[in-house]
Amino acid sequence: MAPFSYAHHHEAEEQHEGHNHHEEASQQHANDPAVAAYQAANDKMHEDMAMSFTGNPDVDFAKGMIPHHEGAIAMAEIVLQYGEDEKIRQLAEEIIAAQESEIAFLKEWLDEKRH
């Protein structure tokens, strides 16, 4: 096997093994309310980001960033509810403020562009 293809194959195997480990770790924390909240926020963000593209890079960026930022806000709210580290909690509060401002800008910009 050529070095590149061997390395690529080996990397793919490691990624697959890591994926299984991730599933096992998720199952170990299945009853943790913070994990459940993060999973729900992650699922919603990815569902909302599955959008129809317009072909206009500016519009597509704005439309894609809104659910991405909403996901960041949801995650920040979860850490504020369940987290304990003061530095992380402060960052979460800053993220909420910044992302809310950016969402407002993006929505206003899309309205101006009639999208």
8 Å CB contact between 98 and 81 = no
Q: What pTM value is reported for the model?
A: 0.73
d(Cα 7, Cα 51) in Å, to the nearest integer?
A: 34
* 11 and 55 part of one domain: no
* 58 and 9 part of one domain: no
Domain count, the chain: 2
Interacting residues of 32 by C-beta distance below 8 A, sequence separation 6+ = none
pLDDT at 82: 97
pLDDT at 25: 53
* 22 and 40 part of one domain: no
* 5 and 54 part of one domain: no
* 88 and 62 part of one domain: yes
Residues in the chain: 115
* 36 and 51 part of one domain: yes
Query: Which residue range(s) make up the domain with 45?
Result: 32-112
pLDDT at 78: 98
Question: Tens of pLDDT along the chain (115 residues)?
Answer: 455 444 444 444 544 454 555 555 556 776 899 999 999 999 999 999 999 999 999 999 999 999 999 999 999 999 999 999 999 999 999 999 999 999 999 999 999 999 8
* 100 and 88 part of one domain: yes
| Cα angle: 65, vertex 69, 72; to 5 degrees | 145
pLDDT at 6: 45
* 8 and 43 part of one domain: no
